[in-house]
Structure 1
Amino acid sequence: MKAPVFLNALRAFEASARHQSFSSAAAELNVTPAAVGQLVRSLEEWLDTPLFHRGASGRARLIPTETAERALPDIRAGFDRLFLGLSRLREASRGGVLTVAASPAFAAKWLLPRIEKFHALCPETDVRLDTNLKLVDFAAQGIDVGVRYGRGSWVGLVAEKLMDEQIYPVCSPAWLARTGGLTTPHDLAGKALIHDLSVDTHLGFASWGDWLLRAGAPEVDTSRGMQVNNSAAVLQAAIDGHGVALARSVMACDDVAAGRLVPLFPEVKLAAELAYYVVYRAECASQPKLVAFREWLMQEATPR
């Protein structure tokens, strides 16, 4: 079977038929128009049949013959299958690009400060980070693996719990010193509260009202204060001294460890209903680069 010898000729034929132009096909394939024409002619000679009606002038100078039109769908499907096969071959290696989806806040406050450890572990894998607040289609967008915040159920994806978290108030050391001591949660009355609007409270996202109810201070007014729709920006507002933020422990852990933020009332513990999950498509579960990244995430998330 000699057809594979004409793989480049088939590519030239398909591109020429799609563009109805040797010049446009050449631009796509990064060769000269003369080279495309020669490849198409070699294929016609091998098949012993013309593939195009060639006009002398006008926009329709290159029209596929009826026989060519019937063959084109199968040829295009064949190229699609070849591309899929090559993708499968690349999946057998930890090398190449791993596309990771995460929210902008999680990427900024947790993932990026740690990603160098993964690079050291798997230097052959290049991470492409896709940050988005919206839930993206993993197959359509070419996402290999992601970290999502929720209840652990997303259509078409395997979800493995990565981290639970606690909810607690934080402020900057300078703000605390300037404002004076806060002895009990009741002392938050009249203080500047920073609200995190990044996740809908209807989904189980803890609010100031939830924490104050747990703390036994439901009378504290939560109707005022700065409102921010990004968890990283919420923490930055607190670091900059704009008030007290209701922090998520996963997001705030590095800032607390570094002393940029001070946890308030640590005796009041509110476990979040939502958690972080590693998510991926079931058919991609055995990809070596995905397996390596998943195992690294799990190791990083394990308390030490």
Structure 2
Amino acid sequence: MSASKSPAYLNALRAFEASARHGSFSGAAGELNVTAAAVGQLVRGLENWVGVPLFHRSASGRSRLVPTEAAVRALPDIKDGLDRLSLGLERLSEATMSGALTVAVSPAFAAKWLLPRIDRFHTRWPDTDVRLDTGLKLVDYAAHGIDIGVRYGAGRWDGYASEKLMDEEVFPVCSPRLRDTLGLNEPADLIRHTLIHDLSVDPGMGFASWEAWLRSAGVEAVAARPRLRINNSAAVLQAAAEGQGIALARSIMAQDDIAAGRLVRLFPEIAVPSLLAYYVVHRADRSLAPKAEPFRRWLHEEASGA
């Protein structure tokens, strides 16, 4: 066994440790974002290199991987080494990005809430560079070097500490011109017109759909109607502002458009609070970085209108 070849087996060591922890190549593959076949090949290559088997099948005949005695003895040291390696790489990344604050937010939240206000943060902390990491999918903060973020949901994410930033409600909105031409006298009138659906939030998470809002407004029978479906909350509001239909808006996203007169709220007497909210989020396994603390405070000040 040549020590000079060790770096070539770092991926194999990761595959081995993840396979042992999950009890399967497929479980490790999901964590490492590769195929199960690739994980199996890495583990077999590691077995050939060290000269001993690392797994055997369980006696029950199931496909769960069971580490050999040699593997069990080695796993704690391997896991500790990988953890220390990850920490070292993270510190190198922090040194490279020492002057930047990396913030993870959704594209719609960035466009409709954060970016219109970010100049106020820069005015107070001019020496802090802010780098936005935007995307609809939840990202791994450690892997992507994220210092802090804002997430929309129920407030519970494994491995992350969260604190509520803003509650919101949902309500129909449209352009002032469209409101004046549609003759909307009661909520049931909505179903005769084009309704814009926001596909960026899964109703299974608790987000109020059009059907849920209409039921809250006393409209039980929802007949077939034209629909426009968009997978970005900012684009949903833009389509409504351009008169393409009626959107079910999230109050935080729509507040600036309503204040500017680009959108109007329909049936304001009907209040439907969202089960979801906005949360400030950071990793639970470490303290919030000093450069992120002013940003956290500023987010709360902006949310409270201070």
TM-score by length of 1: 0.69
Query: Which structure would you say has the larger Rg?
Result: 1
Bigger mean CA deviation after superposition, 270-279 or 221-230: 221-230
Show the 5 A alignment for 1:99-138: 99-138=102-141
- Kindly indicate whether the alpha-carbon contact (under 8 Å) linking 1:165 and 1:271 is maintained by their aligned counterparts in 2: yes
Cα distance in 1, alignment partners of residues 234 and 213 from structure 2 = 19
Superposed, which structure 2 residues align to 1:224-303 within 5 Å? Answer: 224-303=226-305
Number of residue pairs matched by the alignment? 231
Relative to structure 1, the CA distance from residue 161 to residue 81 in structure 2 (aligned partners, 3 Å threshold; closer, same or farther) is: closer
Do the aligned partners of 1:166 and 1:272 also contact (CA within 8 Å) in 2? yes
> Do the aligned partners of 2:194 and 2:225 also contact (CA within 8 Å) in 1?
no
Provide the rounded CA distance (Å) in 1 between the counterparts of 2:161 and 2:304: 20
User: What is the CA deviation profile of residues 226-261 of structure 1, one whole-angstrom value per residue up to 9, with x for unaligned ones?
Assistant: 011110010000000011100000000000000000
Q: Distance in 2 between matches of 1:81 and 1:211?
A: 47
| Mapped partners of 2:247, 2:127: distance in 1 | 40
Q: How far 1:217 sits from its partner (Å)?
A: 1.4
Q: Output the CA distance in 2 between the equivalents of 1:89 and 1:194.
A: 45
Question: Would the alpha carbon gap of residues 97 and 273 (structure 1) be closer, same or farther in structure 2, given more than 3 Å must change?
Answer: same
One-letter amino acid of the structure 2 residue matched with residue 267 of structure 1: E
- CA shift digits 1:209-233 (9 cap, x unpaired): 1110110112243653101111001
Find the residue that maps to 2:291 and give its secondary structure. helix
- How many angstroms apart in 1 are the aligned matches of 2:188 and 2:87? 65
Contact 2:213 2:272 in 1 (8 A): yes
How big is the shift at 1:184?
A: 1.0
The TM-score, its normalising length taken from structure 2, stands at 0.68
CA distance in 2, matches of 1:226, 1:106: 21
State the distance in 2 between where 1:291 and 1:90 align: 20
Measure the CA separation in 2 of the matches of 1:168 and 1:187.
Answer: 15
Q: Aligned partners of 1:83 and 1:238: how far apart in 2?
A: 46
Unaligned runs of 5+ in 1: 1-17, 19-76
Q: Contact conserved, 1:162 with 1:298, CA < 8 A, in 2?
A: yes
1:164-199 deviation digits (Å, cap 9, x = unpaired): 1010000001111232x3121112131111111111
Q: Does the aligned pair in 2 maintain the 1:188–1:220 contact within 8 Å?
A: no
Q: Give the CA deviation at 1:288.
A: 2.0
Give percent identity, aligned residues only: 57
Partner of residue 148, structure 2: 145
